[in-house]
Amino acid sequence: MPTKTHIPRVALVGNPNAGKTSLFNAITGGSQKVGNYPGVTVERVTGTVSLGNFRQVEFVDIPGLYSIVAVSEDERVAVEALGTDSPDAPDMLVVVMDVTNLERSLYLYSQLADLGWPTVIAVTMTDTAARHGQLVDLEALETATGVPVVAVVAHRNTGLDQLSEAIEDMLMRPVVCEPIGRAQGSVVELSTEERYEWSSGVRAAVVTEPSRRRVSNTERIDMILTHRVFGLVIFVGLMYVMFQSIYTFASPIMDGIGWVFAQLGRIAGAPLQGIPWLQSLVVDGIIAGVGAVLGFLPQILILFFFIAALEGTGYMARAAFLMDKLLGWCGLNGRAFIPLLSSFACAIPGIMAARVMPDSRSRLATILVAPLMSCSARLPVYVVLIGAFIEPHFGPAWAGFALFAMHFVGLLVAIPVIFILNRRILRGKRLPFIMELPRYQWPKWRDVGVTMVQRGRSFVETAGKIIVVMSVLIWALLYFPRDASAEKRYAQEFRSMPVAMQRDMTEANFVQERMTENSFLGQFGRFIEPVFKPAGFDWRISTAILCAFPAREVVVSSMGILFSLGSDAEDHDLQSALKAARWPDGRPLFTPWTAVGLMFFFALCCQCMATLATVRRETNSWRWPAFMFVYMTGLAYLSAVAIHRIALAIG
């Protein structure tokens, strides 16, 4: 009977891509990220539910295993979770077996059985096996293993009640799993060959293949999508369509969000006209700062719709296969593409996903280049600058291509960086690439929706926490100090200017711009301006860059405040304010070249404290995050300067 103090713990164990996380989400009601390739789960994840007579049962989703002999960091996490001496040791196991890869799952089971945990087997993919004409005899599997067997289809909630009953029975009346060798009448430990022989025999007894094997749709599609030429062409084409769609489809929604925040600013600012500083704080600081960032939520959602849908079809595993040759040139293999792909969403899960790399040097090289991938926080910067300076000059098609190209800058730079790291610093060797290619399937739209909601929520929460605080701080440093005598002096300065220069702006805007320039932050910006001037950046751009070092999500709101205070743009639209910005001699601050240089800077610069802290945790040293910060920031600065010099040379 269950005790009042002990919470039973059930570990979900199985091969990568067997369906553990889908089953975990179905049982616990969780929303952990699922994927049909290795490396999606690299940490223990827990969830607690009520189960029959048990008020609480803790389920643990651990990283996938092919064997209890760990060869990578994520597998070590899984093996440690199964240790009998661990304080987090489970009370029983649910071994998740993909029936379409049953022999491999049985090999792992043969090792788990030696550990002696009470066990229940959950068989997945039975619906897929049925579609391909395979017959599965679950009673035969139960007889061969000696433990209860339940068929489940997690995304349809099929078999979950039967599985819950089996788990409850096993917790109430635990039966220790018999080692395979003992079950066969032997007391010696089986060799690897003997385990495979047992697995193959059980699989042959359990699964009946169709009398006539046909070429599957997956095999037909793979002839094209994994082709060495057509496969790469289709991959590049898909990526282009994705980024062109982001740019095209999100624009009307962005305009709507911008209009809402403009109206909100007018409504909130009207009753505060008698208190200028408070009106400026609310309208120019909080509403403008948050609105400038939330306007990019549609792009974030569209981006993750495409990524989650492609993951769900099984295509991303093929993309890793295609990338193997590209990454092989610099010393890594296609397995590194999985953490690099995760880094396009956010560098932190990408760095953690590098645990799937089988050797420490390849893992470290992958960690050091993962932040070069264009994470979603860079997307708003690209969209603002492309919309303001690329599309008006070259049209929407080239604007979409520019967005597509900017997301590949980090990957193209990462390849020579890895080459140098492997040859000069880490001296790693390229290991063979082995990855299971899952069957193609329609994406599970619930998982796609969950991914979009999670990423959108993360973006909004960041806006609600860091960006609001930073927006208020930046506004205060830009607004103060100010006094009436300074305003009179700047007004007199305007009136003494040549008439031709007075036509370019109103007296009020000139005074506002001079007040901003001489604020606390303006003085600091002008102090550091000489550092960034070789890249064509003035004090406002330089200040926005520095404000973004803790978290690059801040940059758009920072630019919104920096360029809106003192701008001629009546609606405080950031793109209009950037177009209107001038150097003191009246030249436009931004040209298309300036925009490209600034995008390259943000594409390559290391501007995320959370990423540096994660690298510190994963490498157990401050040496590597410091190295990463220096080389990335140096590359960013040099690339921006080089682009500005090229622009000057071309004229």
Supply the mean pLDDT for the chain. 83
Average pLDDT over every residue of 466-487: 78
- What confidence score (pLDDT) does residue 35 get? 59
Q: Binning pLDDT at 50, 70 and 90, where does residue 458 land?
A: confident
For the chain, the distance separating the N- and C-terminal CA atoms, rounded to the nearest angstrom, is 83
Residue 283: is its pLDDT beyond 50?
yes
- What confidence score (pLDDT) does residue 84 get? 65
Cβ neighbours of 346 (radius 10 Å): 22
Residue 600: is its pLDDT beyond 90?
yes
- What confidence score (pLDDT) does residue 294 get? 75
The rounded distance, in Å, linking the Cα atoms of 277 and 193 is 78
Each as own residue / partner, the long-range contacts of residues 317-323 (CB below 8 Å, 24 or more positions apart, any chain) are: 317/36, 317/37, 317/435, 317/436, 317/437, 317/438, 318/222, 318/225, 318/226, 318/231, 318/437, 319/235, 320/37, 320/435, 321/226, 321/433, 321/435, 321/437, 322/226, 322/231, 322/232, 322/235
Q: Binning pLDDT at 50, 70 and 90, where does residue 570 land?
A: very low
Q: Which residues pair with 48 in a beta bridge?
A: 58
The rounded distance, in Å, linking the Cα atoms of 420 and 426 is 9
Residue, of 156 and 59, whose pLDDT is higher: 59
Q: Token match 């739209």: residue?
A: 445
Q: Token match 């999606």: residue?
A: 40
Cβ–Cβ under 8 Å, residues 507 and 558: no
Cβ–Cβ under 8 Å, residues 261 and 295: yes
DSSP 369-431: HGGGS--GGGHHHHHHHIIIIIHHHH-HHHHHHHHHHHHHHHHHHHHHHHHHIIIIIS---PP
Cβ–Cβ under 8 Å, residues 241 and 462: no
The rounded distance, in Å, linking the Cα atoms of 644 and 638 is 10
Alpha helices per DSSP H over 592-622:
592-604, 609-619
Residue 424: is its pLDDT beyond 80?
no
pLDDT digits (tens, 9 = 90+) for 330-349: 777 777 877 887 788 778 87
Q: Percent of the chain at pLDDT above 90? A: 22
Residue 96: is its pLDDT beyond 90?
yes
Residues written for the chain: 651
Residue 225: is its pLDDT beyond 80?
yes
Average pLDDT over every residue of 590-617: 90
Reduced to 3 states (helix: H, G, I; strand: E, B; else coil), residue 173 is coil
Residue, of 386 and 333, whose pLDDT is higher: 386
Average pLDDT over every residue of 534-549: 89
Residue 598: is its pLDDT beyond 70?
yes
Residue 594: is its pLDDT beyond 90?
yes
Residue 435: both structure tokens together? 């990855």
- What confidence score (pLDDT) does residue 41 get? 58
Q: Binning pLDDT at 50, 70 and 90, where does residue 630 land?
A: very high
- What confidence score (pLDDT) does residue 465 get? 66
Residue 569: is its pLDDT beyond 60?
no
DSSP 340-384: HHHHTT-HHHHHHHGGGSSSHHHHHHHHHHGGGS--GGGHHHHHH
Cβ–Cβ under 8 Å, residues 437 and 420: no
